[in-house]
Amino acid sequence: MMNILLLGSGGREHAIARKIVQSSRCDRLYIAPGNAGTAECGTNVQLDPMDFNAVADFVLQQRVEMLVVGPEAPLVDGIADHFADHDALRHVKVIGPKRQGAMLEGSKDYAKAFMSRHAIPTARYRTFTRETVADGYAFLDSLQAPYVLKADGLAAGKGVLIEPGLETAKAHLEEMLGGKFGAASTSVVIEEYLSGIELSVFVLTDGEHYLMLPEAKDYKRIGEGDTGLNTGGMGSVSPVPFADSAFMRKVEERIVRPTVQGLRDEHIDYRGFIFVGLMCCNGDPYVIEYNVRMGDPETESVFPRIKSDVVELFEHTALGSLDRCTLEVDRRAAACVMMVAGGYPESYAKGAAIDLGAGSDDVQLFHCGTVRADDGTLRTNGGRVICTTALSDTLESALRQSYRRAEAIGWQDKYMRRDIGQDLLRLL
Ligand code: AMP
Ligand code: GLY
């Protein structure tokens, strides 16, 4: 048995925490900084995941043997390297890649170049800087609308622009290179637009072997029918009906296997999750982006379906023996409905008292932006506040149960989309 520290504070971390504490191998679970939900799975610790020295001090003090990194920022900043580089910390099993592997998410140009080196299907692209802006305009001229512009670096999910018109695309290219996203847009990737339906594919790898986790679909826009501003995610479902076994075989053969093989060939020590955001175009998968962590809110529908002991999977991931594991997955459908604060993803209020209501114990709640106030009341503390996940024999009934539970939850200005999963039901 071991003590485990999980970094992060969202619904993803609550869903991971709930699985970790189900393991007989977990002694104490700490979550930093966590939320009011994770506090029910373990002990929240007021640590900044970006303060590696503080994280390391805590790990040594509490004899933590496993560090599970939820969000990308500490990985891109090199938290796994920090642990590998210090004698006193090297024994800690870190779930998450080192800085070089994390570049797959930290730099779009790096990710695209990696895909092209390993013949992984993705949209045709080129990368431009301020010095080559004229070439950027010419490249845009050679493409068809709409135009896809991506800040190279991390831009809090806001660095991708899809432009319908050529002139606005050129104007935005100039703005981006002029510092619209700070250092993140010193380089800009321009790529072909892919038309199709999106899918999130998750892989756990020790750098040599891998397991494919259940796939999911998330709903990114704030408005019904996928309209309005981009959000961190308004709901998710797993499995995804169009991702049948023939399609997933293509994903594995054309994308997952060459990705893991590419990491090996390039001697990149990668022990953690790979999240492949892909587009299904006429039945063929193309990578839109890599992330080096689990998705949120995909984790809230993927993790409840994992029946295997996740701590055991993580141990083998860290030790390089993932080939000894198989994954046991609940065949039922999971549907996650996210509830957000009114106004999100623009400005919104925090601190509203949340009434969790009541409902079937079969539906799980995952906290995102919640906090337990000094007086004991549960209060909103972020844009995405809480979500419900139901597992059921059909997607339709999972959605129905998840929505029924979500209806019973209330606070001032609560908002949720009513159409999560409806597009997939129409395909059935
Ligand atoms: P993110 O990088 O997660 O902020 O996502 C950007 C979003 O833009 C993706 O989820 C897609 O919906 C969309 N997107 C990115 N690249 C392309 C592309 N080449 N073609 C079409 N849509 C894209
Ligand atoms: N749900 C998409 C993400 O986590 O990036």
Q: Tell whether ligand 2 has an atom less than 6 A from the beta carbon of residue 163.
A: no
Ligand nearest to the CA of 289: 1
CA distance 248 to 94: 28
Ligand 2: which residue has its CA nearest to atom 4?
295
Check residue 360 and give its pLDDT. Answer: 86
Omega before 146 within 30 of 0, i.e. cis: yes
The number of the ligand 1 atom at minimal distance from the alpha carbon of 159 is 4
Ligand nearest to the CA of 296: 2
Q: Tell whether ligand 2 has an atom less than 6 A from the beta carbon of residue 291.
A: yes
H or E segment and range at residue 319: helix 310-319
Give 293 Cα–ligand 2 centroid separation in angstroms: 9
Ligand 1: which residue has its CA nearest to atom 14?
288
Residue in the structure block whose two tokens are 């999910």 = 157
CA distance 78 to 101: 10
Pocket test of ligand 2: the residue of 237, 274, 275, 366 to mutate, having most ligand atoms within 8 Å of its CB, is 275
Give 141 Cα–ligand 2 centroid separation in angstroms: 31
Neighbour order of strands in the sheet with 125-128: 125-128, 188-191, 147-151, 160-163
Give 300 Cα–ligand 2 centroid separation in angstroms: 11
Check residue 43 and give its pLDDT. Answer: 98
Give 193 Cα–ligand 1 centroid separation in angstroms: 9
Ligand nearest to the CA of 288: 1
Ligand 1: which residue has its CA nearest to atom 1?
157
Give 253 Cα–ligand 2 centroid separation in angstroms: 23
- DSSP string computed for 107-153: -HHHHHHHHHHTT--B--EEEE-GGGHHHHHHHHHHSPSSEEEEESS
Beta bridge partners of 221: 230
CA neighbor of 35 nearest in space, from 55, 56, 15, 57: 15
Q: How many alpha carbons lie under 13 Å from residue 406 in its C-beta half-sphere? A: 28
Cα-Cα-Cα-Cα dihedral of 315, 1, 38, 372, to 10°? -150
CA distance 241 to 273: 23
Cβ neighbour number for residue 324 with a 10 Å cutoff: 9
Give 224 Cα–ligand 2 centroid separation in angstroms: 18
| Whole-number CA gyration radius for the chain | 21
Ligand nearest to the CA of 155: 1
CA neighbor of 203 nearest in space, from 101, 140, 276: 276
CA neighbor of 193 nearest in space, from 128, 146, 137: 146
Structure letter (DSSP) for residue 16? H
CA distances from 208 to 112, 143, 260, 327 (A): 21, 38, 7, 17
185 by DSSP, 3-state: which? helix
Instruction: Kindly list the protein residues whose Cβ atom lies closer than 6 A to any atom of ligand 1.
Output: 123, 148, 157, 160, 162, 191, 193-194, 198, 277, 288-289
Q: How many alpha carbons lie under 13 Å from residue 210 in its C-beta half-sphere? A: 27
Domains of the chain: 2-97 (3.40.50.20), 125-191 (3.30.1490.20), 197-324 (3.30.470.20), 333-425 (3.90.600.10)
Q: Would you state the structure tokens that stand for residue 253, as one six-digit string?
A: 């053969």
Q: Would you state the structure tokens that stand for residue 209, as one six-digit string?
A: 């072997």
CA distance 88 to 282: 52
Check residue 243 and give its pLDDT. Answer: 96
Give 413 Cα–ligand 2 centroid separation in angstroms: 24
**Chain length of the chain:** 428
The number of the ligand 1 atom at minimal distance from the alpha carbon of 194 is 20
Give 285 Cα–ligand 1 centroid separation in angstroms: 14
Ligand 2: which residue has its CA nearest to atom 5?
295
pTM of the model: 0.96
Query: Is residue 358 packed enough to be buried (19+ CB in 10 Å), middle (13-18) or exposed (0-12)?
Result: exposed
250: amino acid identity, one letter: K
Q: For residue 187, give every residue at least 6 positions away whose Cβ sits within 8 Å of its Cβ, in sequence order, or none.
A: 109, 127, 128, 129, 152, 153
324: amino acid identity, one letter: R
Check residue 362 and give its pLDDT. Answer: 86
Q: Are residues 96 and 176 in contact, defined by beta-carbon separation less than 8 angstroms?
A: no
Regions in the chain scoring below 70 on pLDDT: none
Ligand 1: which residue has its CA nearest to atom 19?
193
Which tens digit of pLDDT belongs to each residue from 290-301? 999 999 999 999
What is the sign of the dihedral through the CA atoms of 175, 179, 185 and 187? positive
Ligand nearest to the CA of 143: 1
Ligand nearest to the CA of 192: 1
Ligand 2: which residue has its CA nearest to atom 3?
295
Q: Are residues 277 and 291 in contact, defined by beta-carbon separation less than 8 angstroms?
A: yes
Q: Tell whether ligand 2 has an atom less than 6 A from the beta carbon of residue 233.
A: yes
Structure letter (DSSP) for residue 130? G
Check residue 158 and give its pLDDT. Answer: 81
CA neighbor of 22 nearest in space, from 361, 298, 304, 372: 304
Check residue 427 and give its pLDDT. Answer: 84
Residue in the structure block whose two tokens are 């003090």 = 61
Pocket test of ligand 2: the residue of 72, 150, 292, 298 to mutate, having most ligand atoms within 8 Å of its CB, is 298
Burial 158-177 (b: 16+ CB within 10 A, else e): ebbbebeebeebbebbeebb
